[in-house]
Amino acid sequence: MKTITVFTIALMASVSSMAQVVRTSYQEVRSATDKIEAMEVSFLTQELELTSEEAQKFWPIFNDIKEERNDLKIKKKKLMYDMAKSFNTMSVDQAQEFVDGMFDIEAALNESNFEARNRKIIKIIGPKRFLQLKKAEYEFRKKILQEYRTRGR
């Protein structure tokens, strides 16, 4: 009986410490993500030289586009996870549902509403600075990846 009690206490302590590690890891990832997003806003603002009036119009549209794309990417990951989980037991009809779901998400990622929103951005900052935005986004990703590789070594 004493052995079972000691084992149970040890198991509970272990689970509690693992939960703390997971919680800390999530907080660290969230903190790093927030820092990267803040760096991106700063980098893009500096590169585009937005006036305060332009920034007030630009950032809500830009953030909406980014949020919608992220939501679709999360949906796609969930769909892929669900597909992988049931792959060995799925029927042909279920497989077709997964294929249709993937096509729907891909179509939404490429949908014209992104074009319409990008056209709104172009109206605010002009076509040349829109291209500068695309270039700056690319440069920022490249900079972040390069820093990640440097720190990883």
Q: How far apart are CA 79 and CA 105, in angstroms?
A: 10
Host domain of residue 61: 40-152
Lowest-confidence pick of 26-30, 35-39, 129-133:
26-30
| Residue 115 in domain | yes
Number of domains in the chain: 1
Token pair of 119, please? 């056209």
| Residue 19 in domain | no
> Per-residue confidence at 78, pLDDT binned at 50, 70, 90?
very high
| Residue 146 in domain | yes
Q: Give me the mean pLDDT over the 93-121 stretch.
A: 86
Note the helical H segments in 49-91: 52-86
Confidence at residue 5, expressed as pLDDT on a 0 to 100 scale: 52
| Residue 17 in domain | no
| Residue 76 in domain | yes
Percent pLDDT > 70 in the chain is: 82
| Residue 13 in domain | no
Token pair of 81, please? 């996870």
Query: 82, 141 in Cβ contact below 8 A?
Result: no
* pLDDT reading at 77 higher than 90: yes
Q: What is the mean pLDDT of the chain?
A: 83
